[in-house]
Amino acid sequence: MATAYCMKCRKKVEIKDAKQITLKNGRPAVQGACPTCGTKVFRIGKC
């Protein structure tokens, strides 16, 4: 699983419901939610 930094929890978490997206400039990214608080988390690059 991919990990990302949660700004609310202030720690690295595994991304829940992770999905691959493509940014406007064509770079890949992973977007999902924090399993603890539900905040949207985001990481640039493939998982």
Q: How do the pLDDT tens digits run along the chain, 47 residues long? A: 789 999 999 999 999 999 999 999 999 999 999 999 999 999 998 76
pLDDT value, residue 38: 95
Number of domains the chain contains = 1
Contact by Cβ (8 Å): 2, 43 = yes
pTM for the model stands at: 0.82
Structural domain harbouring 9: 3-44
Q: pLDDT value at position 5?
A: 96
- Tell me, what's the pLDDT at 47? 65
Please tell me the predicted confidence (pLDDT) of residue 16.
Answer: 95
Q: Using CB atoms within 10 A of its CB, is residue 15 exposed (0-12), middle (13-18) or buried (19+)?
A: buried
How far apart (Å, rounded) are the C-alpha atoms in residues 38 and 6?
Answer: 9
